[in-house]
């Protein structure tokens, strides 16, 4: 009988706990008026407090029930349960960028505030026979001090951008080599994705194969796959925590950022490098987007080519680069004295399940994504006063997103909306990474950057919602950053000032 007693007691305790917790949750729902649904006109900031109080309340309820009904012999089992996902707060402690507007977060954002365009004629290869000959091309870039020279010669640029931006984010976050050596590296991870991966490495391998397989680069397979950037960076740092990449077209960065945050929230990691990187500016990359008629052909005036919400838009402008964040568990960041740039509140993913390249005509997936992101973050729609829109300068995409934003936040007279792509072009999988940095910089500086080239807005667009041609003062309460990708992938993430 003794052999049966342990498992039987365990089962009985689990059953009691389940019933008690269900009863407690029912009681809180039906007997506690004034909860999260009360006070729809609450002042800004109360949503976050409600979220924290709710997390503490849930934690207290669970521990209280455990004490009431658990047998002493089972106490250790209960205490080993993973912490509530809402109990671990995630903060941004570092930022790194490689962009057409600079390779430092402050330089990058100051150029955005000044309305500087990074779009110009492509110089890397002869594109005179293409109908599109402009892009957000990075003219000057060096890996010196960031990537070993031997690897720098062999790697695809998407990996070079990724590793450089990742290490710059660590430097920006004060995570020096000496301090990194003190970290528990089993709880540090890398999740930086790419939409296109190593296109040049793969293309060069095809050209070599035309001669002989013996001419192929032996690294062509690993250096072409999207996961290898995160893998190489983790090897360099010795970080043994979560390590992979996500590829969801132009929504890639946001998917990576939210999943990285969730690893921290679930207690699986303390520090995560996350974001996206892409280097699609090669003939096959340009030609592919030209073939699907997605690109602007305003070659005579490159800086005017990216025109989100403007009647004269004729497609998006390709860009390249990387955007990487250091996400950290709050107490871990405090213990090392980290500078906290913002708090990551939450986010969401959805799928349109409609078309490969076009958004759902009613914007259902986008609206659902935003609503789920607000629920995950525990904030009300009235708390959002800044949206960094995906807005790529395409005919249907811009309007469907705008309609969804107004549907969700149209009652907020303080709402400001802009598009970073009006100056950088569309960095494909890296877009969400640099736009997350732009959102965080808006929180830090109290300024939101202008929308370039919005000269003749679409009739349905309220210019009172969109930022004008000059930067505007905005004390950001909660910022929402959207990214959407081919395949109907939708992603929204939220940041707020750390309090």
Options 188, 220, 250, 408, the catalytic residue: 250
Vertex 347: Cα angle to 331 and 357 (nearest 5): 145
The answer to whether the beta carbons of residues 253 and 483 sit under 8 Å apart is yes
292 has catalytic annotation: no
Q: Within a 10 A sphere around the Cβ of 493, how many other Cβ atoms?
A: 29
- Half-sphere exposure (CA, 13 Å, Cβ side) for 53? 9
Q: Comparing C-alpha atoms, which of 229, 262, 222 is closest to residue 244?
A: 229
360 has catalytic annotation: no
Options 103, 332, 360, 390, the catalytic residue: 390
- Distant-in-sequence, close-in-space partners of 230: CB < 8 Å, separation ≥ 6: 162, 190, 191, 192, 193, 243, 244, 245
Q: Measure the CA–CA gap between 354 and 180, rounded to whole angstroms.
A: 45
Tell how far CA 397 is from the center of its chain: 19
- Distant-in-sequence, close-in-space partners of 498: CB < 8 Å, separation ≥ 6: 91, 340, 341, 342, 343
Options 103, 332, 360, 426, the catalytic residue: 426
Q: Comparing C-alpha atoms, which of 491, 10, 15 is closest to residue 259?
A: 491
Known catalytic residues are 250, 390, 426
């Amino acid at each position: 009988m003794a052999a049966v007693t342990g498992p039987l007691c365990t089962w009985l305790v689990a059953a009691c706990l389940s019933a008690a917790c269900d009863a407690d949750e029912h009681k809180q729902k039906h007997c506690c008026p004034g909860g999260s649904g009360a006070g729809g006109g609450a002042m800004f900031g109360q949503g976050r407090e409600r979220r924290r109080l709710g997390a503490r309340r849930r934690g207290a309820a669970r521990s209280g029930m455990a004490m009431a009904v658990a047998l002493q012999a089972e106490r250790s089992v209960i205490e080993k349960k993973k912490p509530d996902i809402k109990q671990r707060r995630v903060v941004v402690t570092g930022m790194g960028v490689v962009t057409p507007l600079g390779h430092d977060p402050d330089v990058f954002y100051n150029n955005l505030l000044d309305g500087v365009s990074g779009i110009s004629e492509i110089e890397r290869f002869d594109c005179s026979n293409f109908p599109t000959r402009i892009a957000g091309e990075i003219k000057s870039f060096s890996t010196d001090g960031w990537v070993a020279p031997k690897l720098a010669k062999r790697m695809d640029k998407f990996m070079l951008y990724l590793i450089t931006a990742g290490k710059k984010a660590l430097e920006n976050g004060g995570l020096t080599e000496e301090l990194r050596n003190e970290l528990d590296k089993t709880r540090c991870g890398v999740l930086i994705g790419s939409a296109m991966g190593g296109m040049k490495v793969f293309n060069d391998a095809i050209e070599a194969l035309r001669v002989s397989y013996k001419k192929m680069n032996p690294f062509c397979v690993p250096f072409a796959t999207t996961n290898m950037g995160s893998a190489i960076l983790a090897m360099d740092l010795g970080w043994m925590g979560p390590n992979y990449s996500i590829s969801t077209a132009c929504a890639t960065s946001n998917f990576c950022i939210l999943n990285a945050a969730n690893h921290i929230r679930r207690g699986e990691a303390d520090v995560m490098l996350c974001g996206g990187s892409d280097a699609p500016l090669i003939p096959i990359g340009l030609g592919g987007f030209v073939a699907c008629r997605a690109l602007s052909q305003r070659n005579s005036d490159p800086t005017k080519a990216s025109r989100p919400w403007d009647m004269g838009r004729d497609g998006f402008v390709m860009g390249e680069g990387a955007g990487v964040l250091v996400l950290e568990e709050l107490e871990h960041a405090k213990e090392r004295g980290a500078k906290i740039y913002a708090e990551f509140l939450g986010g969401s993913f959805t799928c349109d399940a409609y078309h490969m390249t076009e958004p759902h005509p009613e914007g259902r997936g986008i609206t659902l994504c935003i609503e789920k992101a607000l629920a995950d973050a525990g904030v009300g729609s009235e708390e959002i006063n800044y949206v960094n829109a995906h807005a790529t300068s395409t005919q249907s995409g811009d309007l469907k997103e705008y309609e969804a934003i107004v549907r969700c936040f149209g009652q907020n007279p303080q709402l400001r909306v802009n598009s970073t792509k009006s100056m950088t072009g569309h960095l494909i999988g890296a877009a969400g990474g640099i736009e997350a940095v732009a959102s965080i910089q808006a929180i830090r500086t109290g300024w939101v950057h202008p929308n370039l080239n919005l000269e003749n807005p679409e009739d349905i667009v309220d210019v009172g919602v969109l930022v004008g041609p000059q930067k505007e003062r905005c004390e950001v309460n909660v910022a929402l950053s959207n990214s959407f990708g081919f395949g109907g992938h939708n992603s929204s993430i939220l940041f707020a000032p750390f309090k």
